[in-house]
Amino acid sequence: MGTTADNSANPTRVWLFFLILAVVLFVFQEMLFRFVFPVPDISNFNRVNYSMLFQDVPEGSVQSLSNAAFTWTSDPDGAEFVHHLNLYGFRDETWPVRGDKRVMFIGDSFVEGFMTSDYETIPIGFELASERHGNYKKTMNLGIGASGVDDYLAVIRDAVPIFLPDTVVLVMYANDFADNETAVASLDDVTVPSYSNPYLPRLYVVVSALIRGDSVATRWIKQPFSFLPSAESASSPLHDEEFVAHISSFVSPDILEAMKHGRFNPFMVNQYTIYKGYLPRAKDMPGVIERTKNFVEAHGSSLMVVHIPYKGQVSDHYLESMQQFDENKQPSSLMADEYQVHASMLRVDCEQHGVPFLDLTAFLREREAGGERMYWEYDEHMKASTYLLIGEEIYKFWAAAGENGL
């Protein structure tokens, strides 16, 4: 009788054993896949949606830049830096949807921090300064290299309702004041965020993405690609042989060679001449400050605007190096008042709408006059120490504005 009962119980024990084993294997596999294949909280918020580099690429052929990396190189300066991007494609850690007392930085490559490391950017400088002053604030770096005002507003439009920062710091660079008559339209048609389902098995999420042809991010940063195109790329101006033949007459041979290999920015050709003609021309941005302020305030945030000048507006020291890739071999100073009209117009616009405005021109000029080189000699971007100093200046201004009720 005992033998019969034991025999009848064996199949139940076997099935229970296999069931427990299956559950254990599933849990182990799920934990492994969640570790190896992280997903952002918002699945449809990614840098590629706002980058000018991808706006001419056919829809559906661009993959997200989740946990990607790229290099930015300037051979004439002897420098190369790797940008490590988060799950949303930005140069920062991946942010949780909700966070306390956050300050969101919006802008171009000067916010992202070209020509420096991941931990020497303007937002990092702000964060470190806040910690030193006993008023720690977490920052969010939403800078996008090679972007403009339209792109800034599109990022604000989608990111502010998702992450709800306390303050939005809009950083405007010297080349942001052209053809912005319709920029304010970028604040319309907010993208409805698609929240990732935390309960879906990660294997299902990964396989589904692969079937759709989407990129799948892993916990490890991908091999970096070059941000700057080589001459073989159709996106490079050096892809045009006639253009190369033309600039060969005035661009330094070493610099031209670096450009051809994606190791110096080919869009720097005639940069001084372009700025000399562009800076004195008044450019309006109708409604941008007012609409942006209203938008961020409607989501419980406040707006602050910062202006960063072109290095030729800060010091004549850089005129000599500019000649090496410019047709103008006798450049004159860009420090006169006639070349500062954009910052003046922006200041008036901000004051009119009660938006705190910080122009960094005087601060940078003072440092340059004291012998500090705030920018790289050939590349247009700033050095690591400058980014950190600017972050601290913005923090001081932000703290003072808060004390004054702005």
Written in H, E and C, the secondary structure of 159-223 is HHHHHCCCEEEEEEEHHHCCCCCCHHHHHCCCCCCCECCCCCCHHHHHHHHHHHCCCCCCCCCCC
Please determine, for residue 55, whether its predicted confidence score (pLDDT) is greater than 70: no
Q: Is the pLDDT of residue 245 over 90?
A: yes
- Which single residue is written with the structure tokens 């990022």? 155
Percent of the chain with pLDDT over 70: 94
- Mean pLDDT to the nearest integer, 6-11: 66
- What is the pLDDT at residue 57? 43
Domains of the chain plus CATH, in order, are 47-403 (3.40.50.1110)
Reported as a single tens digit per residue, the pLDDT across 364-390 is 999 999 999 999 999 999 999 999 999
Task: Identify the band that residue 53 occupies on the pLDDT scale cut at 50, 70 and 90.
Answer: low
The predicted pLDDT at position 295 comes to: 97
Whole-number pLDDT of residue 246: 96
Residue 58 pLDDT greater than 50, yes or no = no
Give the pLDDT mean for 250-257. Answer: 97
Please compute the mean of the pLDDT values over residues 332-360 and round it to a whole number.
Answer: 97
The whole-angstrom separation of Cα 165 and Cα 126 is 15
Laid out side by side, the sheet with 138-143 consists of 138-143, 102-107, 167-173, 302-308, 357-359
In terms of phi and psi (left: phi > 0; alpha: psi -120 to 50; beta: otherwise), the region of 11 is alpha
Mean pLDDT of the chain: 92
**C-alpha separations of 383 from 70, 104, 174, 321, 394 in Å:** 18, 22, 17, 16, 17
> What percentage of the chain exceeds 90 in pLDDT?
82
pLDDT of residue 4: 54
Is the distance from CB of 307 to CB of 361 less than 8 angstroms? yes
Give the Å distances, CA to CA, from 354 to 29, 105, 373. Answer: 55, 19, 34
Mean pLDDT for 202-220 is: 90
pLDDT over 60 (residue 273):
yes
Residue 218 identity (one-letter amino acid): T
Q: How many CA atoms, within 13 angstroms, populate the side-chain half-sphere of residue 81?
A: 22
Q: Is 182's pLDDT higher than 90?
A: no
* Neighbour-count burial of 343, counting CB atoms closer than 10 A to its CB (0-12 exposed, 13-18 middle, 19+ buried): buried
Task: Tell me the mean pLDDT in the region 24-41.
Answer: 94
pLDDT band at 61 (very low <50, low <70, confident <90, very high): very low
Extract the tokens encoding 61: 């052929």
For residue 167, name the pLDDT band (cuts at 50, 70, 90).
Answer: very high
Rounded CA-CA distance 165/102 in Å is 5
Judged by average pLDDT, the poorest of 48-57, 167-176, 203-212, 283-292 is 48-57
- C-alpha 211/C-alpha 321 separation (Å) is 51
Question: How distant, in Å, are the alpha carbons of 56, 65, 81, 113 from that of 384?
Answer: 32, 24, 11, 8
pTM of this structure: 0.94
Judged on CB neighbours under 10 Å (0-12, 13-18, 19+), 126 is buried
Per-residue pLDDT band for 59 (boundaries 50, 70, 90) equals very low
Nearest 10 degrees: Cα torsion 248, 249, 255, 261? 0
> Where is pLDDT greater, at 365 or 220?
365
Confidence of residue 339 (pLDDT cuts 50, 70, 90): very high
Q: Please give the structure tokens belonging to residue 53.
A: 């580099």
- Range of lowest pLDDT (116-125, 233-242, 271-280): 233-242
- Judge whether residue 159 has pLDDT over 50: yes
What does the alpha-carbon distance between residue 149 and residue 70 come to, in Å, rounded to a whole number?
A: 23
Mean pLDDT of the 249-270 span: 97
The first and second tokens of residue 225, run together, are 């690609």
Q: Which of 57-71, 107-121, 216-230 has the lowest mean pLDDT?
A: 57-71
The pLDDT of residue 405: 58
